[in-house]
Structure 1
Amino acid sequence: MSSRTEQQIMQGWDPAAEPLLTITCPAYNQREYIAQTLDSFLAQQTDFPFEILVNDDASHDGTAGVIANYAARYPRLIRPVFHQQNQYQQGKYCFPALFNMARGRYIAYCDGDDYWCDPLKLQKQVDFLQAHPDYVITYHDAVVVDAQGEHGLQLGPQLRCNATNMDLLKGRRISTLTAVFRNVLHELPRELEQAPMLDLCWWSLLGAYGKGKYMPDIAPGGYRVHCGGVFSMRSNKRKIHMSLQTHMALANYYQHQGDQKLYEHYLVQVFGLALAAISPGQKLRALALMLRNVTFNLFKRLNFSATRG
């Protein structure tokens, strides 16, 4: 458990000020990891007030008890939310409800089994956002951690860079546990309500508000891979299916928004993911069907042009 007291953490803060940033942390059956996660929040050194909003989705392994103990020790910092029935299993996500409970101007996100390593992480990210109103999100890298230790960085070299508005709109991949962004996501469009990978939807929606800043000077966080992970331990086939559902939801959303460019972008992603999900024989049949449809549409357009001519 963190050795810092609540008074030590809040030293130098304006006691009358509202939190400038809210850390949002969903947790479920993560008793083995949640203490390290919360300790990494409490290790943050900032000159601004922040709060910690922890959502326990009816854990049955003692996770809620650990959260309650921390909340009792840090009552002015930690706001716990305890559910009696599991919301995820009922198809209900804790977002954007948790974002709407946040009092901060900025949101930091970290799952209950991941953790941060840089005590100045929040200070650096908020300082940047305060000074650059054209940016909506900041992020950095994370190391993949399992029972055997660390296994390299989560982001590839091509993703360790800034993101334009369009990069975000197109679902730019970001290490979710590292993100700090402006608190502007108050509603989830109907088309995205059942998307399994909500973080991808967040980045796309944030693209309407600004750009993304990659911050290489922040020490990588820890992205934990274990048998209880909601996404990390899914089979490759299941991960493809989840990604397929999410991209299809985004395609529907942008179609209803009248954005043809983004609609087509996500349809292309859906096509690629669909091919990845089927057997080699089905791939050939799908490609043959696509070629037939493209040829038919091409001749149809050529015939229409000739008739008009």
Structure 2
Amino acid sequence: MKPLLSICCTTYNQEKYVAQTLDGFLKQKTNFSIEIIIHDDASTDKTQDIIRAYAKKDSRIKLILQTENQYSQNIKPTANFCIPMATGKYIALCEGDDYWTDDLKLQKQVDFLEANPEYVVSWTNYKIFKNNEIIENDFSYNEAEVTIDYNNLFTPYSTYTLTTVFKKEALDLELYKSLKYSKDNSLYVMLLQKGKGVFLNFFGAVYRIHEGGVYSLQSDFFKNYSSFLNLNEVIQVIPESQTKNINKIIKSLANGAAFAVLKAKYAGEKLTEVQQRFMDSHFKRAPFKTKFKYYKRIFKYKFLK
């Protein structure tokens, strides 16, 4: 039977966590069939051994095991390997260090999307695991269902990868793969061109922050700059996404990246050419209010140590 939904999971050196991730997939209670596609990006620990063992026990699990790391070559595993292999009408995303906690997560999301064809993507609430402690988000949503479009996307940032379920037909995969700076933010902007999104206000998953996290422990500059690049790129190909909200977010990301570089500079860190060039060009073009903050912080870093 052809699955209605394909789970796409990417792993890399997550031997400590991936079993919990897979258990969350296998515990899902649905009235439809699913498949589980796992792409491992040439892990050097025991991650591949663990996912092989799971695949032997459950035929729904399909493996893509790399012998050479693809991400380091700027090849995005989800776009280039997982999604092309997926046969489901819907695709759910989750990385190998996060995990699902609600056994009905997929059922609830698919039920909503099936009943509301004008919606193409859904997310749920999630908790954060950090320093052996579970922390709850507070997005200040009072409604059980919150419609997401270009006017409120990323405000607040409630659309995390680990809770995403979307209609495969809503994604222009070739365009997605062609984007130089693409990441999940790009995916959401592209999907919302085809329909509305929804945030379902129940806790469905846990986002894990740990020392081996590919993204969660990156520098403030990297987080802001990479998001600035991908959003700035995708709005050029999806012009209708250039709303006041999205443009405001891009400006905020640029400011965040530039001020992170400034802080690093006066902390004695050696700046890369990219960091120096971006900071210089950003503050040169910045409005007076931002320039004032820039010089105020220079004064603080130089004279108030």
Q: TM-score category by the smaller chain? A: 0.7 to 0.9
Question: One-letter code of the match for 2:41?
Answer: D
- Among 209, 212, 220, the residue aligned to 2:204: 220
TM-score by length of 2: 0.78
Q: Distance in 2 between matches of 1:159 and 1:188?
A: 37
In structure 1, the partner of 2:47 is 63
CA RMSD of aligned residues (A): 2.8
Number of aligned residue pairs: give it: 266
Q: Which amino acid aligns with 1:225?
A: I
Residue 287 of structure 1 corresponds to which residue in structure 2?
Answer: 287
Which of 112, 123, 127 lines up with 1:128 in the alignment? 112
Matches of 1:235 and 1:159 in 2, distance apart?
32
- How has the CA–CA distance of structure 1 residues 123 and 284 changed in structure 2, closer, same or farther, with 3 Å as cutoff? closer
Further displaced range: 126-135 or 21-30: 126-135
* 1:223 maps to amino acid: Y
Contact 1:192 1:249 (8 Å CA) reproduced: no
One-letter amino acid of the structure 1 residue matched with residue 110 of structure 2: V
Q: Which aligned pairs between 1:19-38 and structure 2 lie closer than 5 A?
A: 19-38=3-22
Whole-angstrom distance in 2 between the partners of 1:89 and 1:60:
14
Contact 2:150 2:245 survives alignment (8 Å): no
Moved more, 204-213 or 54-63: 204-213
| Deviation at residue 137 of structure 1 after TM alignment | 1.3
Residue in 1 aligned with 2:181?
195
SS in 2 for 1:118: coil
Deviation at 1:77, TM superposition (A): 0.9
Pick aligned residue for 1:90 from 67, 73, 86: 73
CA shift at 1:188, angstroms? 4.2
Q: Is the 8 A contact 1:171 1:201 kept in 2?
A: no
Task: Give the superposition deviation at 1:159.
Answer: 9.7
State the 1:264 CA deviation.
Answer: 7.5
- Aligned partner of residue 48 in structure 1, secondary structure: coil
Equivalence for 1:299:
none
1:32 alignment partner AA? K
Q: Deviations over 1:70-94 (max 9, x none)?
A: 00111x2100110110000011101
Gaps of 5+ in 1: 1-16, 292-309
Q: CA deviation at 1:265?
A: 6.2
**Residue 14 of structure 1 corresponds to which residue in structure 2?**
none
Cα distance in 1, alignment partners of residues 122 and 177 from structure 2: 26
Higher strand share: 2
CA deviation map 1:165-204 (0-9, x unaligned): 4347x566402211111112242427962225x1111111
Q: How far has the Cα of 1:277 moved from its partner?
A: 2.5
5+ unaligned residues in a row in structure 2: which ranges?
Answer: 263-278, 292-305
Output the CA distance in 2 between the equivalents of 1:66 and 1:261: 41
Q: Work out whether 1:54 is the aligned partner of 2:34.
A: no
Change (3 A) 1:114 1:31: same
Give the equivalent residue in structure 2 for 1:114. Answer: 98
Give the structure-1-normalised TM-score: 0.77
Alignment correspondent of 2:84? 100
Give the drift of 1:235: 1.4
* The one of 179, 195, 215 aligned to 1:210: 195
2: CA distance between counterparts of 1:54 and 1:60? 16
- When Rg is computed on C-alpha atoms for both structures, the one with the higher figure is 1
Counting aligned pairs with the same residue, the percent is: 33
Q: Does 1:177 align with 2:157?
A: no
Tell me the CA shift for residue 220 of structure 1: 3.3
2:69 alignment partner AA: N
Q: 1:78 aligns with which of 42, 61, 64?
A: 61
CA shift digits 1:120-159 (9 cap, x unpaired): 1111111111111111112111111023211222x62259
CA drift of 1:211 comes to: 1.1
Q: Distance in 2 between matches of 1:148 and 1:165?
A: 34
Distance 2:254 2:172 in 1: 31
Q: 1:284: how far off?
A: 6.7
Partner residue, 1:150: 134
